[in-house]
Structures are given as structure tokens and as C-alpha cells.
Structure 1
Amino acid sequence: MSNQLSHKEHHSPGLKFPVVLLTDNLMGDANIGSLFRLADAFNIEKLVFCGTPINLNSNRLKKTARATYKTVAYEEWEDPVAAIRKYRQDGYISYGLEITNDSTQIDSIDFSNKEKIILIVGNERHGISPRLLDEVENKVHIRMFGHNSSMNVSQATGIAFYEITKTLPPLREK
């Protein structure tokens, strides 16, 4: 019989992925909380929230994030273009998660030769702003099979993290 493991019984392999997630004007506290959980689950470097300030006092955010908002590294920037330019200067390769006329299916990309990745996700309603999208080096999308052309930003981010981390070599944590 299988028994579910508790948090204390679960042992992390001690791997960290050189991925930063940059958000473009996210508004939903539940989505922000979910991104904290995903960042912890995939052990990425950092969350970068741009535009609307996040509200860490929100009960909805706290409930969704659980305690991860206390342990995941994050920063806030007013201007997402300034943020992406700074990270690109630091050697990060940018990927915007957006369906565009020139986007590539994310599951067809081999990230194994990438050292630092910054993944950009957009606003729940409008996606990545055109101004920021112009700064992004690579546009990627998740292949979808239904009639809708989008999905919830936190669900899409989870899928993207999975696709990236399955081929990206992790860093051994100290």
C-alpha cells in the first residue's frame, strides 16, 4: 500500500535551476500565490514582479502560496523593459510565453545548452505587453488542442517550467 509523504518526509535532490520568471503586470493574488508555489516546486532562482505591486498581505495570495512567499527569492520592478534589459546584460536568454505569429512550441526546444533563462509571462487578460514583447529574444507557446487560444497564467507557467527543466541542466545547490 502506498502512503503519501509529508513535507518532512520528502527529500529534495538539492538541485536549482538557472531560471528567473518575470511577470508583466499580473493582477490576481491567486495567480501570484501560485507562481510562488511553482517557483518553489521547480526551485528556480527568482521571481521578478513588474508593474502592479504585489500585496503580500492578501489572504488569497497567502492561502495559495502557503509559506513559499517567505522562502522564494523575489523582487519588484516598476518597468519590465528595464528589468529584462538588466537580466539580458547579466547573460540571461529571454523567452516570452505568448502565442505569436513567430512563436515556437516550447516542447520542441532543447534548453540543455542554455546557462541562464528568463521566462516572461503576461497579464491575465492582455498577455505580454507589445512594448515588452519587442524586447524578448524568443517567443514560445504551449501547443493547445481546444478552441481557446490561452490558459491560466499560473497553469501555463507550470507547464513551461516543466518543459524547461526537463532538458535544462540543473545547478547543484551548496
Structure 2
Amino acid sequence: MRKLKNSELDRLSVEDFKNSKKTPLIIVLDNIRSLNNIGSVFRTSDAFLIEKIYLCGITAKPPHKDIHKTALGSTDTVTWEYIENTIDIVEKLKQEKVKVCAIEQAENATMLNDFTVDSNTKYALVFGNEVKGVSQEVVSASDHVIEIPQFGTKHSLNISVSCGVVIWDVFTKLSKFSHNTSL
């Protein structure tokens, strides 16, 4: 096997990305404090053609050098919007028939591997603060609470890692309804 060169990866241009059909997923960042985590979420969202990111509360907004360091230009491709209160966008999305899923450890949470998707539904995945997680108000307002199964001594993952795990899982489940992996 030979590693591929960047020129062989057949990446989309910024314009092609913006014109591509998007994965029916929205990411909501509920008070994320680390700019590197925010940049990583942008980069993962670019990789899976995520429709939009909502940055809420204390979550910083591009342009910022520490976001750019990990986003590597994906703040120019992924559509984003700042909303002061996370609950406001959660309520708006629910009115638009988007299923809101808080990614959190909570009573009666559905384990990620048991979470099933509907091919005719758009989902919003809410990721919370590095210390406090998703706010209780948002958890209570969500249609689903999804927990990532963990088996070691620690009971949390970095938010950017959680985002990558959950986006990949939901993307693959949604892709089963499509004839190709680009949905």
C-alpha cells in the first residue's frame, strides 16, 4: 500500500462544497469554551457535509486564530450562525420538525449504538460544555438524549471526540438510506 498524496484525494473546492447536497444533520454547540474544540468540530462537520453549525452562549465565533488552527479553513465551508441562548435555537429547530438530540449522560438516555434514524428526518445534535455538558434546560427540551457507551475508568470524552464519534455513527446510519456515501 502507498499513502495517497493530497493531490490524489479528490477533495471538493469551497464552491463545490457549498453547492453539494448536505447531510441532514445540524450541530449545536452549547457553551463550548475551547477554541480548539470549536475548530475541530468545524473540521469534522466539513468532512461529513454537515448542513450547519449553531454556536451558542460562550462558544467563540470565527474568525479567530485558535479556531482556525484546528479548523484548517472549514469555517469558510460549513455554514454557521451564532445564537446567544441555546434553548432558543432548540425550540426553533423543533418547530421546524428537526429532531433535537442532546449528547449527554442522562436517565433513560439511548445508547448511541441503539439509536435508530429515520431517513425522512433531519437531526440536530447538541454537544455541551467541556465541564458542565449540555444544560439541563436543553436536555429537558430535547426529543432524544443519546449517550456514547464507554467502558473504561473515565466517563467522559473530549467534546471534539464525542462530536466525531456521533457524527460518524449517525452519518453511516443515514447513508444506509442512500445509494452512495455522500447522501
Q: TM-score, normalised by structure 1?
A: 0.90
Q: Which residue of 1 aligns with 2:127?
A: 121
| Pairing 1:21-170 to 2, within 5 Å after superposition | 21-168=27-174, 169=177
**3-state SS in 2 of match to 1:2:** coil
Q: Which residue of 1 aligns with 2:5?
A: 5
Change (3 A) 1:22 1:55: closer
Structure 1 distance, partners of 2:93, 2:178, is 19
Q: Which structure has the highest helix share of the two?
A: 2
Structure 1's unaligned 5+ residue stretches are none
Q: Aligned residues, how many? A: 173
- The higher relative CO (CA closer than 8 Å, separation ≥ 6) is in 1
Structure 2's unaligned 5+ residue stretches are 13-19
Alpha carbons 1:17, 1:170 under 8 Å: kept: no
Structure 2 distance, partners of 1:73, 1:170, is 23
AA paired with 1:42? F
Runs of 4+ in 1 over 6 A off after TM superposition: none
Alpha carbons 1:18, 1:171 under 8 Å: kept: no
Report the CA distance between 1:113 and its aligned residue: 3.5
- CA deviation vs aligned residue, 1:1-36 (integer Å, no higher than 9, x gap): 413131563256x55210000111111000000010
Q: TM-score, normalised by structure 2?
A: 0.86
